[in-house]
Amino acid sequence: MWIEALIAVTLASAAVVFLAPNKVAGKLAFVLSLLPVGGSLWMYSTYEASGNALLEGSTLAFETNYQWVVAGPYSLNWHVGLDGISMPLIALTTVLTSLALLASWTPIQERQSQFYGLMLFLEASLLGVFSALDFFVWFVFWEMVLVPMYVLIGVWGGPRRKYAAIKMFVYTNIASLALFIGFVALVFGLGDSVTTFDMPTVAQALRAGELGSLGPIGPETLKVAAFVAMFVGFAVKVPVVPFHTWLPDAHVEAPTPVSIMLAGVLLKMGTYALLRFNFTMLPDVAQANAQLIAIFAVVSVLYGAMLALAQTDLKRIVAYSSVSSMGYVILGLVAYTVYGMGGATFQMVAHGLISGLMFMAVGVIYNTTHTRMVSDMSGLASKMPFTVAVFVAGAFGYMGLPLMAGFAAELFIFLGSFGAFEGSVLFTAAAMFGIVIVAGYLLLAMQRTLFGPFELETDYEVGPAAFHDVAPLVVLILLVILLGVDPNIFFGMIQDAVNPIAAATGGGA
Amino acid sequence: MAYQLPGWAALAPTLTFVAAALVLFLIDSIDPDSENRALLAGTATVGSLVAAGFAAWFLIAGTGEEPFTLYADSLVVDSMSLFFAFVFASVTAMVVVASYDYMRDHSYQGEYYALVMLAATGMTLMPAANSLAVVFISLELASLPSYALVAILKKNRGSVEAGLKYFLIGALSSSILAYGISLVYGVSGTLLLPEIASAVEIEGLTGVLGIGVLMILGGFAFKTASVPFHFWAPEAYEGAPAPISAFLSSASKAAGFAVAFRVFTVAFPVEAYVATIDWVLAVQILAVVTMTLGNFAAATQDTVKRMLAYSSVGHAGYALIALASLTGTGSDQFVLGGGMAHLLVYGFMNTGAFLFVALAEYWSVGRTFEDYNGLAKQAPFACAAMTLFMFNLAGLPVGAGFMSKYFLFAGAVGAGFWWLTAVGAINSALSLYYYSRVVKAMWIEEPTQEFAIESKPVGLYAAIAAAAVVTVLLLPGFGPVWAFAQDAAAALV
């Protein structure tokens, strides 16, 4: 019942805020968003589950399973529940939404009630994505995310917002169609043995090798075709190079709080779904093509980092570095080891916090300087020391400084992927080189903008940022350090959930 | 032993509409120039809600499980006719509530509501028709008031022109239908649908019978606004008062499908006909052409109402899939039920969309997409509802529109017609383009004009809100919808 309550409260809050007057909407939304934060923390503290939600022998936390629609032989269920993979993401979603709402107070100056209402609606949809265990329920939430996102970028975004919004909408919608067809084909391919779209049932049947033919298509071809369709569908969301081109546009045009949600949580939908669908349901296809997938991962890491190096807009730098960071997640997943997959899942949370932090910091700088161009400013440290300090700390977190969450995540990924499959040593080494580039562009950008003598190309008065702008930054950096010092806050439950996938496929370390 | 209602009581939804029409005539004859809009609209609303209530009650109580045949078998009340009676009555209720505001300055108030009630009477009879004579009469009873309703804005050139065009094409297709019925009668010697099925095993007359079947199909194509009798639809929907456009494109279209479902499954069962008169092939061609043409035409429109009109043609194409995927085997019930469930959901989402256009016309916002620019700043609630209708019509899962369309397509795949589904899915994906144009205009574009929005009309808002809430609630509540639709389909195949 708790998951339903969490989603219902968030939806109700969205409706209340949507109808509230513009003046109070921001504060009201923030206060109401503390309810799901409290809820998810309470769920974390009472969390008791073991195993992977999709596999046999697992017990789920807060599980409910009701019949929804019976259609011919098939039945659809309202099935939600949490395991060690989804619990951290639920917590991440609620916390990051609250902080993003706080970061909206300064930049959002028109149609506030609609903005905050849509943000909460987005949160509710995301909570649904991470907790749903029936494909139809999951897909409904997955598509529901798009609607508020489209409007949020399209209305409150930058000058080219219409183009960016429609591009994101079209890209992800086509991707959804691909993954939908891929998954439904799998279910039909399972024949009479599976009469439900329940994800655990489908996953177990697939892993037991029950896949039959679908029309003239044999099981092996079907498996690969479905894997490709779903991989492409999720790769757009992650995004994996070469499906990433919508992301920089969307990020640059989106207002700061929407960028925070986009980088912090929405990208994780893609990697979460990859883990749940492709890597859990069709492990043999994934492992047979491990090198190919690893190439996608490493290209994302290096190409994303090099693109970031070439940017002159602070926000674009962070946007492209997200592409790079998500490449690590793919590399960790394809390793099929406990450390690799666990590290990848941990990276989803860590990157959610760190990229949220970076976008928020860039937003705060933009609010005061009204420019994001690296060449337009220098020496901000002397004017807004506190913001700059957090920015620097966040950047070091991004580079993987020990005792920060990013370090733990990337270390686990590299440990897990090193030697995990043929050629993995080479891939891991190449991916590690990505960190050097990350350090390069972040240090370069910081040196130019933050340090040295103060200069600014615009005529705005630059001073310390408001308390409600800095507070969420501080909260985030503290969370990043907390997770870095004690990864076990989440890593224990993550490990428990990825263990069955890794063990069942004979992974090491 | 509980008191047994007489058999004719099974027609309660229809009788309620008749009674409401008569009461309205009575009020109108006592006070011909009545300005009492609340009384007139109220009577019509109560009438439709009671009719919907009867239909829902009978459905839940299982009245239709054992079909009632009445009046020498010419009418049959089963779960299918009750299912559609519920659809028509709910759409009618929303339309009359919205008309309270929309028709505020027009004369002929009494006549307007009475005509709507009479048209609804005809519609509720259509799915219950068990004889080709009743098919024809109920179809005319639904059509004749519709012609007058389209043209009721007598001072508006567009409305009168649309009424005339609608009437002319209607008259032509009625004569084709009547001719088709006479040919079928000539071959089979009976008008009762079940008897036609058993009578027409006579050899040698398949040519005459085939022409008759195709002509009947043509008559239904008119009512459902399917190609090749769709020409009236864009004109009529655009010229008519917007609530009437909602009424025609939702209820009247569903009525056409209801009667087509019954006639073609009961009188011309696929398994007996596939070797001689392959009407399924004709329906397949119609379905593909209708959805493609409707979608492409909708994509090129400049005015929202006309776009909705063509999209409604496209949706007729999707619903035709239900008829086009019949094979005479076990898969029929699933796909036919899918078609019925889609028509139910469509009744709410499409009515809502047209009622939003009615609201825009009430505010004199203008007709084109550009005129809607920035409307969400002024009326966020109504625009949120419209966004919901648009995404549902496009088949995004923010409401029941996704589920019903998915099940319809799944049914077609299950029957082996995956290519029909492929065409439908491509069309459906394409439709997102023009539906999202409305959303983009309302939310994202900057206003190009000053809106003179002085009031929030209660009736229109109530109707739109009802449509939006039901469209959303049908998603979690799709289980019972599907169960009722399957029962309804089981009554036929």
Please state the rounded mean pLDDT for residues A391-413.
89
Give the list of residues 6+ apart from residue A468 with CB closer than 8 angstroms, or none. A102, A105, A106
Let me know: does B449 contact B308? Beta carbons within 8 Å.
no
Residues in chain B: 493
- Judged by a CB distance cut-off of 8 A, whether residue B469 touches chain A is no
Phi–psi pair at B365, nearest 5 degrees: -75, -30
The partner residue sitting opposite B396, judged by closest CB among A143, A154, A161, is A143
Between the alpha carbon of residue B176 and those of residues A59, A202, B173, B460, the distances in Å are 65, 52, 5, 38
Let me know: does B79 contact B491? Beta carbons within 8 Å.
yes
Between the alpha carbon of residue B326 and those of residues A177, A318, B64, B270, B489, the distances in Å are 26, 55, 23, 7, 12
Q: How confident is the model over A337-348, as pLDDT tens digits?
A: 989 999 999 999
CA–CA separation, B268 vs B249, rounded Å?
Answer: 27
The single residue listed with the structure tokens 């630059």 is A462
Interface test with A, best of B443, B473, B493 (most A CBs within 10 A): B443
Give the list of residues 6+ apart from residue B442 with CB closer than 8 angstroms, or none. B372, B373, B374, B375, B376, B383, B386, B387
Q: What SS3 class is residue A133?
A: coil
Residue A508 pLDDT > 50, yes or no? Answer: no
- Judged by a CB distance cut-off of 8 A, whether residue B456 touches chain A is no
CA–CA separation, B119 vs B112, rounded Å?
Answer: 11
Interface test with B, best of A17, A113, A140 (most B CBs within 10 A): A140
The partner residue sitting opposite B397, judged by closest CB among A18, A72, A143, is A143
Q: What is the pLDDT of residue A170?
A: 85
Residue B296 buriedness (CB in 10 A; 0-12 / 13-18 / 19+): middle
Contact call for A162 and B432, based on CB within 8 A: no
Write out chain A residues lying below 8 Å of B425, CB-based: 177
Contact call for B402 and A71, based on CB within 8 A: no
Q: How confident is the model over B262-295, as pLDDT tens digits?
A: 999 888 887 777 667 778 888 899 999 999 999 9
- Judged by a CB distance cut-off of 8 A, whether residue B461 touches chain A is no
Residue A387 pLDDT > 80, yes or no? Answer: yes
Give the list of residues 6+ apart from residue B57 with CB closer than 8 angstroms, or none. none
Least confident residue range of A62-76, A280-294, B264-278, B322-336 = B264-278
CA–CA separation, B47 vs B124, rounded Å?
Answer: 13
Model's pTM, two decimal places? 0.88
Contact call for B478 and A143, based on CB within 8 A: no
Contact call for B436 and A169, based on CB within 8 A: yes
Element (H, E) at A477: helix A467-485
User: Which residue of chain A comes nearest to B396, CA vs CA?
Assistant: A143
Q: Which residue stretches of chain B have pLDDT < 70? A: 1-4, 200-205, 274-275
Between the alpha carbon of residue A134 and those of residues A17, A91, A183, A200, the distances in Å are 30, 21, 12, 8
Residues in chain A: 509
Q: Domain residue spans in chain B?
A: 7-490
User: Which residue of chain A comes nearest to B332, CA vs CA?
Assistant: A72
Give the list of residues 6+ apart from residue B325 with CB closer than 8 angstroms, or none. B331, B335, B411, B412, B415, B417, B420
CA–CA separation, A259 vs A253, rounded Å?
Answer: 9
Please state the rounded mean pLDDT for residues A445-449.
88
Contact call for A140 and B397, based on CB within 8 A: yes
Residue A504 banded pLDDT, cuts 50, 70, 90: low
CA–CA separation, A103 vs A113, rounded Å?
Answer: 15
Asked if the peptide bond before residue B228 counts as cis, ω within 30 degrees of 0, the response is yes
The partner residue sitting opposite B444, judged by closest CB among A78, A144, A154, is A154
User: Which residue of chain B comes nearest to A215, CA vs CA?
Assistant: B416
CA-based nearest distance B376→chain A, Å: 9
**Residue of A444, A239, A468, A464 lying closest to A360 (CA atoms):** A468
Q: What is the pLDDT of residue B1?
A: 42
Interhelix angle B109-125/B37-61, nearest 10 degrees: 10
Write out chain A residues lying below 8 Å of B440, CB-based: 154, 162, 166
Positions of E strands within A310-414: 377-378
Contact call for B384 and A155, based on CB within 8 A: no
Let me know: does B355 contact B90? Beta carbons within 8 Å.
no
Residue A71 pLDDT > 80, yes or no? Answer: no
Let me know: does A26 contact A116? Beta carbons within 8 Å.
yes
* DSSP state letter for A374: G
Write out chain B residues lying below 8 Å of A162, CB-based: 440, 444-445
| Side chain identity at residue A154, one-letter code | G
Residue A358 pLDDT > 50, yes or no? Answer: yes
CA B382, B383, B388, B394 torsion-angle sign: positive
**Residue of A106, A153, A111, A163 lying closest to A366 (CA atoms):** A106
Write out chain B residues lying below 8 Å of A143, CB-based: 396-398, 402
Element (H, E) at A80: strand A74-82
Q: How confident is the model over A296-320, as pLDDT tens digits?
A: 999 999 999 999 988 888 899 999 9
- Give the DSSP letter string of B39-98: HHHHHHHHHHHHHHHHHHHHHHHTGGGS-EEETTTTEEE-HHHHHHHHHHHHHHHHHHHH
Contact call for A147 and B396, based on CB within 8 A: yes
Q: Distance between the two ends of chain B, CA-based, in angstroms?
A: 33
Interface size A-B, in CB pairs within 8 Å, comes to: 65
Contact call for A70 and B479, based on CB within 8 A: yes
CA-based nearest distance B31→chain A, Å: 42
Contact call for B479 and A162, based on CB within 8 A: no
Please state the rounded mean pLDDT for residues A475-502.
91
Q: What is the pLDDT of residue B84?
A: 93
The single residue listed with the structure tokens 């079940």 is B194
Q: Domain residue spans in chain A?
A: 1-182+243-270, 289-509
Least confident residue range of A186-190, A221-225, A352-356, B463-467 = A186-190
